[in-house]
């Protein structure tokens, strides 16, 4: 039997994207798996050169790949005619409806211990449909918020399936507990029994009873298909408060687009910051992973960007391809590197991008 070759699109983009995506490529290439990497353009630089931020070749070649790693693109702060964010376009074109952000304790001074949660953010609608208009001679601005039953049920199903998968992973032994991840014997918020998976539905249905009401109702309907997974709901403002006070009690959190965006940036601050925060944009047939951070123009070109967020994102991509063991090898190697005090400047250390990457590769076989 011939071994499977994974065809992976690499879209470095701008700024530190050009440093951290090659780092993730080196880590993948060091694994005992076969990859065919395809480099594709997107972003500000290619826009300045060619007049388009997402060249046709990128949009079409990516479809022939098994998954993609995106770095970051630089966006102009004012509206520039013809410039559209390539990541938003790709999410839409490939129907990447779920944004998955794992928030896991890290062995660095800026991280709190005992945290292992996954934020599942709806990625296609809510206020991000960007239907805004001015009325009243420009004195009133109105934004439309769209919530559909279809998108809400789809994201809820993803969240519950992932909650199940995470529990199975913990049952076969969780290495994350070694480094202070949360214990599986969480108390059920309803029954006081120990439970092993929990989905928290986030909304503001007390105020927005139609839009958030529909999201809540759709999620609760899906919950009935998963009697083995505990479910709870929480209003978004108190959710942020409680997540910061007691992050270790959460497992999977599902939220509409805007709340999920805000929650996940707040959560990243609990576990060591942007240099360590990965995310995946997942559809049913395709996953595009990226670091949460942007192009970091203040440090771009200096060789000091933290590659961990993108390397952990590459692990998420492997998970989506069914290569869970390889994904865990990467996650473990990143944790061991950080535990050995090999830190880039954003974490308070002096390691360069190349040094951190080499240290992670060295620890892949541990």
In the complex, the residues that contact Mg ion under the rule CB under 5 A are: 261
Give the count of residues interacting with ligand NAI (CB under 6 A).
21
Q: Establish whether 128 is a catalytic residue.
A: yes
Give first-to-last CA distance, the chain, whole Å.
28
306 is an interface residue for ligand NAI by CB under 6 A: yes
Among 113, 294, 324, 349, binds ligand NAI (CB under 6 A): 294
Q: Establish whether 228 is a catalytic residue.
A: no
Taking CB within 5 to 8 Å according to partner kind, which of Mg ion, ligand NAI, none is near residue 101?
Answer: none
Q: Residue 344 carries which DSSP code?
A: B
Q: What six digits make up the tokens of 311?
A: 């390397």
351 is an interface residue for ligand NAI by CB under 6 A: no
69 is an interface residue for ligand NAI by CB under 6 A: no
CB-nearer residue toward ligand NAI: 269 or 274? 274
Among 23, 46, 87, 334, binds ligand NAI (CB under 6 A): 87
Taking CB within 5 to 8 Å according to partner kind, which of Mg ion, ligand NAI, none is near residue 261?
Answer: Mg ion
DSSP-assigned beta bridge partners for residue 230? 198
Supply the minimum distance, in Å, between the C-beta of residue 277 and ligand NAI.
9
SS3 content of the chain, % helix, strand, coil (to 5): 40, 25, 35
CA distances (Å), origin 273, targets 40, 201, 252, 266, 342? 28, 24, 20, 9, 16
CB-nearer residue toward ligand NAI: 184 or 274? 274
CB-nearer residue toward Mg ion: 20 or 65? 20
Q: What six digits make up the tokens of 352?
A: 């360069």
CB-nearer residue toward Mg ion: 9 or 72? 72
Q: Establish whether 366 is a catalytic residue.
A: no
CA separation for the pair 313, 27 (Å, rounded): 11
Q: What six digits make up the tokens of 205?
A: 């249905």
257 is an interface residue for ligand NAI by CB under 6 A: no
Catalytic: which of 14, 41, 83, 204? 204
Supply the minimum distance, in Å, between the C-beta of residue 195 and ligand NAI.
35
Query: Closest by alpha carbon to 150, among 127, 122, 120?
Result: 122
CB-nearer residue toward ligand NAI: 297 or 301? 297
The distance from CA 292 to its chain's CA centroid, rounded to whole angstroms, is: 7
Please choose, out of 52-60, 73-81, 196-204, 250-258, the segment that lies near ligand NAI by the rule CB under 6 A. 73-81
User: Which residue, judged by CB position, is nearest to ligand NAI in the bound state?
Assistant: 294
CB-nearer residue toward ligand NAI: 189 or 294? 294
Q: Establish whether 241 is a catalytic residue.
A: no
Query: Closest by alpha carbon to 275, among 312, 298, 308?
Result: 308
275 is an interface residue for ligand NAI by CB under 6 A: yes
320 is an interface residue for ligand NAI by CB under 6 A: no
Using DSSP, state whether 83 is helix, strand or coil: coil
Q: Establish whether 95 is a catalytic residue.
A: no
CA separation for the pair 217, 222 (Å, rounded): 9
Taking CB within 5 to 8 Å according to partner kind, which of ligand NAI, Mg ion, none is near residue 58?
Answer: none
DSSP-assigned beta bridge partners for residue 146? 126
CA separation for the pair 85, 320 (Å, rounded): 25
Supply the minimum distance, in Å, between the C-beta of residue 45 and ligand NAI.
12
Q: Where are the strands (E) in the chain, listed by range?
A: 5-13, 34-39, 67-72, 98-104, 116-122, 126-135, 140-146, 186-187, 194-195, 198-203, 230-235, 252-255, 278-282, 287-291
Taking CB within 5 to 8 Å according to partner kind, which of Mg ion, ligand NAI, none is near residue 323?
Answer: none
**Count, residues in the chain:** 366
Active-site residues, by number, are 128, 204, 237, 261, 265
Binding positions for ligand NAI, rule: CB under 6 A? 16, 20, 72-75, 87, 274-275, 290, 293-299, 305-306, 309, 346
């Amino acid at each position: 039997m011939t071994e499977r070759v994974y065809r992976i699109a690499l879209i470095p983009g701008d700024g530190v994207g050009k440093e951290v995506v090659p780092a993730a490529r080196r880590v993948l290439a060091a694994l005992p798996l076969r990859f065919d990497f395809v480099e594709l353009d997107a972003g500000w630089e290619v826009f300045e050169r060619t007049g388009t931020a997402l060249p046709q070749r990128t949009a079409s070649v990516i479809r022939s790949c098994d998954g993609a790693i995106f770095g970051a693109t630089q966006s102009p702060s004012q509206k520039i005619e013809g410039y559209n964010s390539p990541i938003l376009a790709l999410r839409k074109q490939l129907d990447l409806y779920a944004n998955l952000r794992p928030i896991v304790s890290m062995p660095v001074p800026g991280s709190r211990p005992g945290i292992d949660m996954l934020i599942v953010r709806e990625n296609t609608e809510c206020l991000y449909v960007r239907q805004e208009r001015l009325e009243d001679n420009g004195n009133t601005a109105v934004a439309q918020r769209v919530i559909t039953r279809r998108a809400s049920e789809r994201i809820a199903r993803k969240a519950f399936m992932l909650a199940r998968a995470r529990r199975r992973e913990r049952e076969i032994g969780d290495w994350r507990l070694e480094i202070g991840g949360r214990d599986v014997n969480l108390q059920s918020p309803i029954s006081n029994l120990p439970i092993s998976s929990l989905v928290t539905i986030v909304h503001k249905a007390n105020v927005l009873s139609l839009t958030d009401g529909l999201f809540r109702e759709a999620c609760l309907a899906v919950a009935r298909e998963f009697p083995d997974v505990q479910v709870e709901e929480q209003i978004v403002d108190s959710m942020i408060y409680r997540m910061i006070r007691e992050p270790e009690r959460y497992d999977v959190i599902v939220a509409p687009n805007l709340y999920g965006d805000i929650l996940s940036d707040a959560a990243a601050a609990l576990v060591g910051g942007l240099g360590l925060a990965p995310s995946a944009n997942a559809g049913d047939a395709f996953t595009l992973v990226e670091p949460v951070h942007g192009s970091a123009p203040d440090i771009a070109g200096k060789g000091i960007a933290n590659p961990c967020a993108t390397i952990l994102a590459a692990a998420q991509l492997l998970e989506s391809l069914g290569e869970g063991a390889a994904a865990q090898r990467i996650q473990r190697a990143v944790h061991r590197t950080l535990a050995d005090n090999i830190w880039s400047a954003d974490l308070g250390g002096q390691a360069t991008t190349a040094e951190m990457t080499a240290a992670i590769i060295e620890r892949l076989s541990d």
